[in-house]
Amino acid sequence: MTTERLRHLLTLDGLGGDRLDALLDTAEALHPNALGGTALRHVLAGRTVCNLFFENSTRTRSSFQLAAQRLGADVLNFDISASSVKKGESALDTLRTLEAMGIDAFVVRHAENGAVAALAAGAKPTTSLLNAGDGRSAHPTQGLLDMLTIRQRKGRDFSGLSVLVVGDVLHSRVARSDLHALRQLGCRDIRVCGPASLLPGSNITAGCTVGQNLDAMVEGADVVMMLRLQRERMEEGLVPSLDQYFREYGLTPARLARAKPDAIVMHPGPMNRGVEIADAVADGPQSVILDQVANGVAVRMAVLKHLLGG
């Protein structure tokens, strides 16, 4: 394991395969205690974690809270909507105010690219920041939980896997973190598929096979990662209609049959059923979507332990 402790977790980019493997090993070891029990309540006893979410969340916020509590930390779920942010207090002044109350780590989600890194730069040297998703830049713990889910089903060696990422890649911080992780873990066949209007620049997809025909791109895939169509962007006219999107990019049982017979289907959630994924696939035998959710707790425990543990 890479021994140097991270102070913050802002992105997976540049962490290196060894460190990613080490974090995934820790998550695997913690997994039996991730979904309940009191066995690990000593690990972060006396430490305090604050959830500071400037954007909505179900999975990330809840699983960070449970992860911190199951390691014995105190958790402050800061309610932005009832706070002085609504009177105009800045994000940094909010963080510094809470920091003065003895917070050791902030889990931050924000709509702006780079917002979490900017807060980290303004925090005390002893405070840790964990990026819970900033703009379209990064969602590092989602990337880690996705890798853990793949590893559980396909083994530690990513080099022979064909991994397909489908949909609204342009707006997806999940896709960016998944691509960062897949490259560093040695995956050699990474495919990115979506309508031209929702594909990012080649700086994001470097080394990937990029295409627009899902029927062709899904052929022989081991892993199919569907992305949420960010419908709040629909006003921009980036896709003609939801029906047409589903016809061209929805994952149906017939399309999935083109992948390997033991292919797994992933989705970070929240899902738009009938838009990017059919019910029969989302709830079908190849779906690991709820495994991803469960793995989110173990991964967030591993990251908190790494950053804050003694």
**Pick from 126, 125, 111, 59: nearest CA to 80:** 111
**Contacts (CB under 6 A) with ligand CP, residues 1-60:** 57-60
Residue 178, amino acid: D
**Contacts (CB under 6 A) with ligand CP, residues 250-279:** 268-270
Q: Provide the minimum distance between the beta carbon of 146 and ligand CP in the complex, in angstroms, as a whole number.
A: 9
Q: Residue 8 or 300: which CB sits closer to ligand CP?
A: 300
DSSP 47-62: -EEEEEESS--SHHHH
Residues 6 or more apart whose Cβ sits within 8 Å of residue 228: 167, 168, 172, 267, 268, 269, 270, 271, 272, 276
Count the site residues for ligand CP by CB under 6 A: 9
**Contacts (CB under 6 A) with ligand CP, residues 106-125:** none
Residues 6 or more apart whose Cβ sits within 8 Å of residue 9: 128, 129, 130, 131, 140, 141, 303, 307
Owner of token pair 């962007």: 233
* Residue 135 touching ligand CP (CB under 6 A): no
The angle subtended at Cα 27 by Cα 55 and Cα 189, nearest 5°, is 80
Q: Residue 43 or 173: which CB sits closer to ligand CP?
A: 173
Q: Provide the minimum distance between the beta carbon of 74 and ligand CP in the complex, in angstroms, as a whole number.
A: 22
Q: Residue 184 or 295: which CB sits closer to ligand CP?
A: 295
Q: Provide the minimum distance between the beta carbon of 206 and ligand CP in the complex, in angstroms, as a whole number.
A: 24
Q: Provide the minimum distance between the beta carbon of 180 and ligand CP in the complex, in angstroms, as a whole number.
A: 16
Q: Residue 43 or 228: which CB sits closer to ligand CP?
A: 228
* Residue 142 touching ligand CP (CB under 6 A): yes
Edge-to-edge order in the sheet of strand 264-266: 209-211, 189-193, 162-166, 223-226, 264-266
Token pair for 181: 């992780």
Site string for ligand CP, 51-80 (x = CB under 6 A): ------xxxx--------------------
Q: Provide the minimum distance between the beta carbon of 56 and ligand CP in the complex, in angstroms, as a whole number.
A: 7
* Residue 172 touching ligand CP (CB under 6 A): no
- Pairwise CA distance, residues 295 & 301, whole Å: 10
Q: Residue 53 or 158: which CB sits closer to ligand CP?
A: 53
Q: Provide the minimum distance between the beta carbon of 143 and ligand CP in the complex, in angstroms, as a whole number.
A: 11
Q: Residue 149 or 162: which CB sits closer to ligand CP?
A: 149
Q: Provide the minimum distance between the beta carbon of 47 and ligand CP in the complex, in angstroms, as a whole number.
A: 22
Backbone angles phi, psi at 183, to 5 degrees: -60, -45
Q: Provide the minimum distance between the beta carbon of 199 and ligand CP in the complex, in angstroms, as a whole number.
A: 21
The angle subtended at Cα 182 by Cα 145 and Cα 303, nearest 5°, is 35
- Pairwise CA distance, residues 8 & 90, whole Å: 21
Q: Residue 26 or 172: which CB sits closer to ligand CP?
A: 172
Q: Residue 70 or 109: which CB sits closer to ligand CP?
A: 109
The residue ranges that bind ligand CP (CB under 6 A) are 57-60, 133, 142, 268-270
